[in-house]
A = this chain, B = another copy of it.
Amino acid sequence: MEKITGAVRKPVSSLKELITIADELVQDGYKVTAEGMIHSIRDMGEFAFVILRSRDGLLQAVLEKKKGKLDLAKETEAAAQVEYTQETEAAKTGAQEGSVSEKLHEGEAVRITGTLREEERAPYGIELVVEEVKVLSKPAAPLPLPVDKWKMGASLEARLNQRSISLRNVRERARFRIQEGIVRGFRDFLYEQGFTEIHTPKIGAKSAEGGANIFKLSYFHHPAVLAQSPQFYKQMMVGVFDRVFETGPVFRAEKHNTKRHLNEYTSLDFEMGYIDDFREIMEMETAVLQYIMEMLEMEYENELQILQVELPNVDVIPAVRFDEAKRLVSEKYHRPIRSPYDLEPEEEQLIGTYFKEEQGADFVFVTHYPSRKRPFYAMDDPNEPEVTLSFDLLFRGLEVTTGGQRIHDYAALLEKMASRGMTSEGMEGYLDTFRYGMPPHGGLGIGMERLTMQLLGEDNVREACLFPRDLGRLAP
């Protein structure tokens, strides 16, 4: 019988740790051990650079062949194409005995021991002078994509087809560290603001709200659907926790194949009670964005630099009415208004351009969307019932958030449903919540991938999704 105590036992340093105390390590000549995958090898004759890739970045290790301990395969490319089945066994045995592997190749996972020295041409200004290499695992084939290139040059299709390989490229993967920061900032700020995190079901009974864009499945012989959003559940939880949020997947069976649409995406949702005005939701989102940008600046500096991302200013976000926004871009860009009820993608882009040009703003709230284009639960403006107390947030001309105040009065909700010819079938749990009393409330949903995409200046939302699902893609 053993005891597990949670203590960390291994004398291996992360690159982050090495960088942090590099000065001390260099000065004192301490022996350190680092691990990672061999990202690339450059044979310089008498010595070789072995670039080690770990989660924190690249570490240059320098292998001085004269020391005789290590012998690098001379023809790396050719050698890598050999089948490793035999060698794998040998390497395993070698690793167990702690001996030094005879050859090193790209794609191998290794643990390297040596001393650190200053080298200003290397990443982070340090390099590891190799004393011992332990090969932990070997690939069975050379990498199919040049992941060690700064820009891989492969098509989006090729990169998505081999996602677990293409993301080994340092720039490709950096996007998802930034994405982590976005979600982390979203949650951390909302915890601080008294929101409770919830986890609501993704499989549900078919409801009247749904519409066409819904994935259907059979749930033990009952018809069921996948959640398009946590909308109903988060509203239902406002009566319990006052303020709630959820970060989770949503499913949209939309038959669009555009650069902006995914059929499964991660939605960052919050819902807050006791609002007097729907502007409070926009204020909360602005504060969330401010917090996210601060977090990225503090904790994800490395990735921002890799991707050359300049963070947008979110101190102030202009808000403009839907009809006003349409008029402004129509006048400035001489574009006739075709539909008074919808924003066409091109109009969204122009609104983005307009506010960038006129006010230097990357974000703009568009408010008071027409009631007929918003869901039944959206609260109409009491002074102007054909528009809603709702908004979209555009980021560089793309909608990244939809939000607004919801109807909280039971009678008003039933009335709105009746006016749209809706039945309450499948919505009993939702409606009962209002029957028994609900505070005034509102909220929003942010598309995680879209926000990431716009922040990074990507032109396709698939670049900001680890494993995108679209009309033609169900794997990997």
Contacts and interface: CB of A to CB of B under 8 A. Distances in A.
A395 to B, nearest CB: 14
A341 interface: no
**Residue among A5, A200, A469 with max Cβ neighbours from chain B (10 Å):** A5
A2 B428 contact: no
Contacts of A236: 163-164, 476
Contacts of A165: 239, 432-433, 436
A434 B84 CA distance: 13
Contact of A248 (B249, B426, B430): B249
Given A409-B88, A409-B137, A107 B436 contact: yes
A90 to B, nearest CB: 13
Contacts of A217: 215-217, 226
Contact of A109 (B107, B141, B274): B274
Interface stretch (A6-14, A345-353, A371-379): A6-14
A167 interface: yes
A93 to B, nearest CB: 11
A16 interface: yes
**Residue among A164, A202, A408 with max Cβ neighbours from chain B (10 Å):** A164
B109 A8 contact: no
Interface stretch (A114-122, A124-132, A150-158, A190-198): A190-198
A461 interface: no
A237 B164 contact: yes
A42 B362 CA distance: 53
A136 B439 contact: yes
Interface string A435-476: 111111000000010000000000000000011110100111
A6 B316 CA distance: 8
A374 to B, nearest CB: 20
B204 A2 contact: no
A471 B219 CA distance: 8
A414 to B, nearest CB: 9
A188 to B, nearest CB: 9
**Residue among A10, A141, A466 with max Cβ neighbours from chain B (10 Å):** A466
Given A140-B410, A184-B197, 13 more contacts: A107-B436, A137-B440, A139-B410, A141-B436, A162-B432, A164-B429, A167-B237, A176-B241, A183-B197, A203-B264, A204-B474, A216-B218, A248-B248
Across chains A and B, which 8 residue pairs bring their CB atoms closest together, nearest first?
Answer: A429-B476, A139-B437, A6-B286, A6-B287, A109-B439, A107-B437, A164-B236, A217-B217
Interface of A: 1-10, 12, 14, 16, 35-37, 54-56, 85, 88, 92, 107-109, 111, 136-144, 162-165, 167-168, 173, 176-177, 179-180, 183-184, 187, 191, 194, 196-205, 215-220, 222, 224, 226, 233, 236-237, 239-243, 248-249, 251, 253, 255, 263-264, 266, 273-274, 276, 279-280, 282-284, 286-287, 289-290, 314-320, 324, 365, 408-411, 426, 428-430, 432-440, 448, 466-469, 471, 474-476
28 contacts: A1-B319, A2-B279, A4-B319, A5-B315, A6-B284, A7-B287, A8-B287, A36-B242, A37-B437, A54-B242, A55-B194, A107-B437, A109-B440, A137-B409, A137-B440, A139-B435, A140-B436, A164-B237, A164-B239, A165-B436, A176-B241, A184-B197, A203-B251, A203-B469, A204-B475, A217-B226, A236-B476, A429-B476
